Structure 1
Amino acid sequence: MVSRVSLLLLAVIGCWACRGCLAQIPIPARTDGFVYGGKPLEWGETVVVEAFLDPVCRHSRHAWPELKKAVEHYNSRVSVVLHLFPNSYHSNALIGCRSIHAASKLNRSFVYPLLERFFKYQEGYYDETTYTKSRSTVADEITNNIVVPIIGQANLAAYKTGFNDSQSDQAARISFKNGCARGVPGTPYFFVNGIPLSDSDSPLDFNEWISIFDPLVAKM
């Protein structure tokens, strides 16, 4: 009898979990993601790489410089769209993603310099490093050590307002849900012209990117 009750409870929980997965993802006012280089994105005119990255993910840190170098090699023929993906198993990922979204509201040119500064100093915000610190302490340290050197002291008050409002939180969560809906298992993860790369959760080096882009660029 006990086992039957347990199975029934598991079935009910499973149904509710599936119902939550099928819920409509909130539709943002503008398409999710940040285009590298500040250029307008024209689908069908360039090879488009969608990169799902986490600012406190070790593998994202290793993957970005190689992709950046390959994209710059092709100039305007390859474009990158960054989707911030706060991995749930990185305690400070949501803070990092919210901070980038908040900074983007001040000026979208802050996005990539801020992402790269996170990569440079991310070891200070790994789970084991901040285990005994409160969330507010970590957020303050990220603001002072990571964000302010990029946005400038004059923008600090506006940044804090943006970080603490619901919009930055919603933007980070939409990015995460967008990735989950598209089958992103973790970071880094990449789509090229809308097609997922198999095993792309392992960083690709410059030559591997070139081998992917060359045949595509040749057909444009």
Structure 2
Amino acid sequence: MRTVTKPLLITAIVLIVVVVVGLVAFLVTRAQAPDPASASVSRADSHVLDDAGGDAVTVVEFLDFECEACGAYYPVVEELREKYAGQITYVIRYFPLPGHVNSTHSAVAAEAAARQGRFEDMYHRLFETQAEWGESQESKAELFRTYAVDLGLDMAAYDAAVADPATARRVRTDFDEGRALGVGSTPTFFVNGRPLTIERWNDLELAIQAAL
């Protein structure tokens, strides 16, 4: 009887521990996630590529630098930024997808560059070279550091920013707020605060035209 009861008892204890650990993880994640009611599409510290003033149409993109769809949409975005220059304010927010090894590394590199006022330069470099490092199963943080060197950044300041936990927290804040806003994939666009469903290549431009 004892030989039968002991394994059952151990199994029960293991199940209880698993349930408790899962519940704690759920509660911690829930506690850390922003309240959807207080989540904002754009914040004061969001990275603005183009600022056309208070009356302009505001486009916010949640992106992952490693995302192939983001990379494919990058030239479309650049064309629209040029075509509607002076009419739209374009804002970038991070949404590193968990399935990509270098999504967070690349976002941290961009944020480190942003601390030196060079966000847009790193933004371009990461998308222009995505085919070289995207989908890699090993960290490309050192490669991103060479981009910083090429851009002429202060490397002591860059390295300090990459190592600073506040930099990763800044990236995570965008991600968490994106989730609270219903973002689940990249790229996700908001036009004047309204989420946009992309089904065709010109959907973003049509939304901009309608808002104008």
Does the alignment reach a TM-score above 0.5?
Answer: yes
Kept in 1: contact 2:52–2:88 (CA 8 A): no
Q: Letter of the 1:142 partner, please give it.
A: F
Q: Quick one: structure 1 residues 19 and 142, their matched pair in 2 at CA, closer, same or farther if it must change by over 3 Å? A: same
Aligned to 1:143: 145
Amino acid in structure 1 at the alignment position of 2:150: P
Alignment partners' CA distance in 1, 2:19 and 2:196? 34
SS of aligned partner of 1:87 = coil
Q: Compute the displacement of 1:147 (Å).
A: 2.3
Counterpart of 2:101 in structure 1 is 91
Which amino acid in structure 1 is aligned with residue 203 of structure 2?
E
Contact residue 35 and residue 80 of structure 1 kept, 8 A:
yes
Residue 110 of structure 2: aligned partner = 100
The letter of the residue matching 1:123 is A
Higher RCO structure (Cα 8 Å, ≥6 apart): 1
Secondary structure class of the residue paired with 1:36: strand
Q: Indicate conservation of the 8 Å contact 1:32/1:83, yes or no.
A: no
Q: Distance in 2 between matches of 1:88 and 1:156?
A: 28
Shift of the alpha carbon at 1:92? Answer: 0.7
Unaligned runs of 5+ in 2: 1-7
Q: Which of 7, 13, 34 is the equivalent residue of 2:47?
A: 34
Q: What is the distance in 2 between the residues matched to 1:25 and 1:7?
A: 27
1:29-88: per-residue Cα shift (whole Å, max 9, x none)? x63421113x3763xx22111101111111111112212322332222211110011111
What SS does structure 2 have at the residue aligned with 1:76?
coil
Taking structure 1 as reference, are residues 25 and 41 closer, same or farther at Cα in structure 2, changes over 3 Å only?
Answer: farther
Partner Cα distance (1:188, 1:180) in 2: 13
- In 2, are the aligned partners of 1:35 and 1:81 still within 8 Å (CA)? yes
Q: What code does the residue aligned with 2:85 have? A: N
Task: In structure 1, give the amino acid aligned to 2:192.
Answer: N
TM-score by length of 1: 0.76
Aligned length in residues: 197
Q: Partner of 2:182 in structure 1?
A: 183
1:103–1:40: structure 2 CA closer, same or farther, 3 Å change rule? farther
Q: Deviations over 1:117-165 (max 9, x none)?
A: 11111122233x3x3x4x4xx2112211x22222x05x11211111111
- Shift of the 41–51 alpha-carbon distance from structure 1 to 2, 3 Å rule, reads farther
Alignment of 1:1-220 (within 5 A): 12=20, 15-25=23-33, 31-37=44-50, 39=51, 42=54, 45-107=55-117, 110-127=118-135, 129=136, 131=137, 133=138, 135=139, 138-144=140-146, 146-150=147-151, 152=152, 155-198=154-197, 200=198, 205=201, 207-217=202-212
Structure 2 length normalisation: TM-score? 0.79
1:31 & 1:48 partners in 2: Cα distance? 14
Shift of 1:176: 1.2
| Structure 1, gaps ≥5 residues long | none
Q: Greater Rg, structure 1 or structure 2?
A: 2
